[in-house]
Amino acid sequence: NGTYYHPTFLYESLWSLLGFVLIVTIRNRKQLLRQGEVALSYVLWYSVGRFFIEGMRTNSLWIGEWIRVSQALSLALFIGAIVVWFIRRQDYPPISYYSDGNKGQKKTIKMVN
């Protein structure tokens, strides 16, 4: 009918690819990401993109008349990832950084008779 729609699947794919490249690039920088924070950073990245891309869709489920279900889920994931990130940074003893690998962590094997 001559109606143009946004290629939201393309936008989401490009956003995810850009996030992957960015996170893989920064993950080995010294003292930046701790172990386990690569996954959290992807959740943050994806939820931000999904929130805005979902706003362009025309076939979404709504909560009331003001927010889409996927936008609410993206917002919840974003807030949850920030909270988990903050809690993990408060952890004692500190979690080693991603670039450190397993340095300083000794694995012991107990023998059972």
pLDDT digit string, tens, across residues 24-35: 999 888 778 888
DSSP character at residue 100: G
Q: Is residue 32 part of a domain?
A: yes
SS3 state of residue 63: strand
Q: Is residue 74 part of a domain?
A: yes
Q: Is residue 105 part of a domain?
A: no
Asked if omega into 93 is within 30° of 0 (cis), the reply is yes
Burial class (CB in 10 A: 0-12, 13-18, 19+), 71: buried
Q: Is residue 28 part of a domain?
A: yes
Strand 67-68, strand 62-63: pairing: antiparallel
pLDDT at 109: 58
Residue 22 sits in which domain range? 8-100
Checking if the pLDDT of 92 tops 90, the result is no
- pTM of the model as a whole: 0.78
What is the count of structural domains for the chain? 1
Q: Is residue 111 part of a domain?
A: no
Q: Is residue 72 part of a domain?
A: yes
